[in-house]
Chains A and B, each alone.
Chain A
Amino acid sequence: MDKVELLAPAGDLERLKIAYHYGADAVYCSGKKYGLRANASNFTLEELKSATNIAHSLGKKLYVTVNILFHEEEVEGLDTYLKNLDKIGVDAIIASDILVIKKAKEMHLSFEVHVSTQASILNSEAALFYKNLGVTRLVLAREAHLNDIQEIKKRTNLDLECFVHGAMCTSFSGRCVLSNHCTNRDANRGGCAQICRWTFSIDSVDTPYSMTPKDLNLIEYISRMIDAGVNSFKVEGRMRGIYYIATVILVYRRVLDKILMHKLSNAEVKYYLDVLNRVANRESTPQFIDGLPSKEEQYFLGRDEVSNQDFLGLVLQYDKKNKMATIEQRNYFKLGDVVEFFGPHLETFSYKIEKIYDENGDAIGIANHPKMIIKLKVNTTLEKFDMMRIKVFDKQDYM
């Protein structure tokens, strides 16, 4: 079996550190130019250098998206940008435009070139076309069926990367310019205004027309995807916060590890599904992996999203001697609440809040200011970047 990789998104350095800490083998992000999240904070070249150093110091990888479709005005500067990425030592770029793929090869740069999901690869012949260009990995279209994956692997033996979790485009990625038409923002250069999540009307029909897909969630298919030849399991969400990234990456880390050890039970999958569904703001489904999505895999009344306020606090440090955790508050909590702590080196555990101390050590009853620093006495050893959340599910109930 090929090596299996968990690939996480990061919109900035904080999220990148969280992603690695929670078990990502690699992170993908964008520089300030040429990425499809033009309005995310993204990384300066200096930050990309830091990110690469962090990744390599952990024995992990960093991939940079250079995946816009270039217009004439963006072409100038591309060579320099690619040289800079090479100098920084990023492990790979993720490209969509043939210009970027060809340039990277012609310039003999040392990073790998991965073909973006924007290229909509669903068949082995298209895969061979890109293999002949010298790429080492394909990010397949989210529309790929297990049979497509298997056939592409068989005929190319390239590394295959598949999205397993997160938001979906209604269209094939890269084949939509609704945003250009409705808002003049170019979807294929990072300006997508998500018009497919708006509602439309149809003459003679009273009901608003909507085509918003539910999110992707392939946790139940990971084992079969490994068997089909997938090397890298990719989570969507460069705009997502640290709590989402930590929760999703930790779940997939544990699932992948257990699958590789042949120890994953159906009960655990059910538990992890509930955890994943809780952290998302939309429902999720397997989408295309085993057939064409029906009406059940989309919404019909526009954006049907909920804001998640489960994230209560981020552990900043832990004093082992006094068993005191210093925590940065993220959502309201109070004395008497039953919460839970989770982290990559921690078995998730419940905790009843009996005392809260402020920064000065004075007892308080509630933590109600965003990012206020509080202290809790916790007997189980915690570490920096562990998180506290509302307790909703108890894993024991599933076993």
Chain B
Amino acid sequence: MSVEEKMTSNFLLVVTEEAFLDLKVKNINFLFPIKGLSVGFLKTFAIEDIPIDGAYLYINRILDTEAICILKEILTKLDEKTIGLCFTDLGVLQIVKGLGLSLKLIYMQNHNATNVDSINYYLDDVDSVLVSTDITKEEMISILDGAKKPLVIPYFMLADAMYSRRTLLTNFQEEFALEKKSIETLHENMAGLDFLGIENEYGTVLYAKKYIDYRFFTHPNIAYSFINPLGLDKKNLEKVLDGKSALEISNTGFLYQKTYYRLKEE
């Protein structure tokens, strides 16, 4: 598929900058991190502040009892501007089913969607699932081949490497009387990797700092190509969407790098 053809794909873009709403790209769907219900973003949106029709809401917090109350309140306020929810906590699914809401549902627990059987079970209840960034290209193809509905695939994104309920940046800054910052780059010296830490009152997310770039990957069973452009400005995002090289800031994640877990064979 050429870049031009690829540009006609449906994109699902996390709105990390309001300026992205002016992008002149076809078939782009905007996903808004929701205030009180999302983690790992510096900018979140109250429902009433979402300026466009056809929005997806991003609820990627693991929800406690209090957050469930916030969510229920938000769901009662939704109008036709919202077309769907992308969520991590299965409690969201339970609530939406219970309320009988007509919304597109996309299950987005990145680390959980690593085999086609599990994904097909989730697809009994949702419209689509985000395929994990933790798998190889062969695994990705096998999943897309076998999935009973079109899936969301990583396209260009910062991939979450860790999500903690703890306020890990604040704790460190308080311990050493440092300036308060909600975003920080952590260098891991042994592996030589950088992680971007973003904290809000609901926890801390560490992203692998290089963007995962799967823009070359194609398959007929794709519902949306997912973009988390956290850290990119509009100009750089446009370059990404134009198919320009992003070698310096990206890699192919685990697509060609199989992970293992036994140190010795039994």
Contact = CB atoms under 8 A, between A and B. Distances in A.
Contacts of A207: 176
A119 B191 CA distance: 29
Contacts of B27: none
Contact of A147 (B65, B139, B178, B187): B65
B130 to A, nearest CB: 14
Nearest to B166: A293
A181 B184 CA distance: 18
Interface in A103-156: 119-120, 122-130, 141, 143-145, 147-148, 151
A170 B90 CA distance: 22
A109 to B, nearest CB: 17
Given A99-B121, A186-B261, A125 B91 contact: yes
A122 B259 contact: no
A332 interface: no
Contact of B94 (A125, A198, A202): A125
A200 B194 CA distance: 9
Interface of B is mostly: mixed
B171 interface: yes
Interface string B141-153: 0110000000000
Nearest to A184: B259
Contacts of B178: 205
B114 interface: yes
B95 interface: yes
Contact of A211 (B139, B143, B168, B259): B168
Nearest to A188: B111
Given A69-B114, A75-B115, A207-B176, A170 B62 contact: no
Given A70-B114, A123-B63, A175-B162, A38 B174 contact: no
Given A182-B188, A182-B191, A202-B186, A300 B162 contact: no
B134 A211 contact: no
Interface in A25-73: 32, 38-39, 69-72
A38 B134 CA distance: 18
Contacts of B262: 38-39, 190-191
B189 A178 contact: no
A373 B262 CA distance: 35
B207 to A, nearest CB: 10
B236 interface: no
B172 A148 contact: no
Nearest to A183: B191
Contacts of B263: 38-39, 191
A201 B186 contact: yes
A182 B112 CA distance: 20
A175 B62 contact: yes
Given A122-B62, A148-B65, A72 B142 contact: yes
Given A99-B115, A191-B260, A176 B93 contact: no
A203 B187 CA distance: 8
A72 B185 CA distance: 34
Contacts of A141: 62
Contacts of A292: 165-167
Contacts of B63: 122-123, 125-126
A181 B118 contact: no
B190 interface: yes
Given A72-B116, A209-B186, A177 B161 contact: yes
Interface string B61-76: 0111101100000000
A148 B134 contact: no
Contacts of B175: 295, 300
Contacts of A182: 188, 190-191, 193
A75 B190 CA distance: 33
A209 B171 CA distance: 10
Which of the listed residues B65, B116, B262 has the most CB atoms from chain A within 10 Å of its own CB?
B65
A11 interface: no
Contacts of B266: 32
A122 B143 CA distance: 29
B142 A102 contact: no
B254 interface: yes
A106 to B, nearest CB: 10
A262 to B, nearest CB: 29
Contacts of B112: 69, 97-98, 174
A177 B121 contact: no
B53 interface: no
A128 B186 contact: no
Interface in A63-102: 69-72, 74-75, 97-99, 102
B45 interface: no
Nearest to A41: B266
A172 interface: yes
A171 B163 contact: yes
B247 to A, nearest CB: 19
B89 interface: yes
A4 B84 CA distance: 42
Given A202-B186, A207-B176, A71 B135 contact: yes
B257 interface: yes
Contacts of A185: 259-261
21 contacts: A32-B266, A72-B114, A72-B143, A102-B121, A122-B65, A124-B68, A126-B63, A130-B90, A141-B62, A148-B64, A170-B164, A171-B163, A172-B164, A175-B111, A176-B164, A190-B262, A200-B187, A203-B187, A295-B170, A295-B171, A295-B172
Query: Which 9 interchain pairs have the tightest Cβ spacing?
Result: A191-B261, A125-B91, A126-B91, A295-B171, A186-B259, A182-B191, A200-B186, A125-B94, A189-B261
